[in-house]
Amino acid sequence: MLETARFRLRAFQEDDAPAIFRILSDQRVTRYFGSPPMSDPAAASRRVQRTQAAFAAHEGIRWAIVPREGGAFIGSCGFWRLIPEHHRAEIGYELAPEWWGQGVMTEVLRAVVAYGFSTMRLHSAEAQIHPDNTGSRRVLEKVGFMQEGYFRQSYYEPHNSEFTDAAVFSLLASEWQPPE
């Protein structure tokens, strides 16, 4: 478990599935995911199980975001692609739209990145986003990530039958400025 001023970051629980489905079935949330919105509530339960299994197998770590003052799952954040031989991991996140624009993901991402550099002993963290995702770009830049690459038509989205670009951001442990 991690804590920030306003949020608790905890392990996924099966009873998070309804909130996960509500968030990931929203086209606004999945717009830049490269996959369609969830259409089956059972997919949310499978996501909980995959997240728990990835943690148990040391293949990823993702936290459920819940308000400290009580409340339900409002999103998640974590390292979903670990590359241990290079001390590198890719970060990902999503947040319920009613929480957008309130500094939630910036606050949470700072705690997750701090954990990655201090506890996981990562050398670098990476994020790949759709270039049009200006909200995600702002969050990454506020935390200290810098764009280091741009891959043209690097992802194929079968549900749209199109290739999309990816902007690649990174943050090195030596550049990390923990919040005061």
For residue 34, what pLDDT is reported?
79
160: its two tokens: 């749209």
Averaged pLDDT for residues 6-33? 95
Of the given ranges (10-14, 18-22, 34-38, 93-97), which has the lowest mean pLDDT?
Answer: 34-38
For residue 70, what pLDDT is reported?
83
For residue 180, what pLDDT is reported?
66
For residue 28, what pLDDT is reported?
93
First to last CA, the chain: 20
Under the banding of pLDDT at 50, 70 and 90, the label for residue 40 is very high
The 10s digit of each residue's pLDDT in 60-118 is 999 999 999 888 999 999 998 899 999 999 999 999 999 999 999 999 999 999 999 99
119: its two tokens: 């506890």
Other C-beta atoms within 10 Å of 40: how many?
Answer: 10
Under the banding of pLDDT at 50, 70 and 90, the label for residue 5 is very high
The 10s digit of each residue's pLDDT in 119-161 is 999 999 999 999 999 999 999 999 999 999 999 998 888 877 8
- What whole-number distance in Å separates Cα of residue 44 and Cα of residue 62? 14
**Residue 179, phi then psi, degrees to nearest 5:** -65, 145
List alpha helices for 32-179, DSSP H: 41-56, 104-118, 134-143
Averaged pLDDT for residues 33-55? 93
How far, in Å, are 4, 64, 127 from residue 73 at the CA level?
Answer: 15, 6, 23
Tokens 């790949």 correspond to what residue?
128
Given a cut of 70, is residue 42 above it in pLDDT?
Answer: yes
Under the banding of pLDDT at 50, 70 and 90, the label for residue 177 is confident
> For the chain, which domains are there?
2-175 (3.40.630.30)
Within 8 A by CB and 6+ apart from 16, the residues are 44, 48, 64, 72, 73
Q: Report the Cα 45 to chain-centroid distance in Å.
A: 18
94: its two tokens: 């999503």
For residue 19, what pLDDT is reported?
97
Given a cut of 80, is residue 25 above it in pLDDT?
Answer: yes
CB burial class (10 A; 0-12, 13-18, 19+) of residue 43? middle
How far, in Å, are 8, 115, 159, 176 from residue 77 at the CA level?
Answer: 12, 12, 24, 18
pTM of the model: 0.93
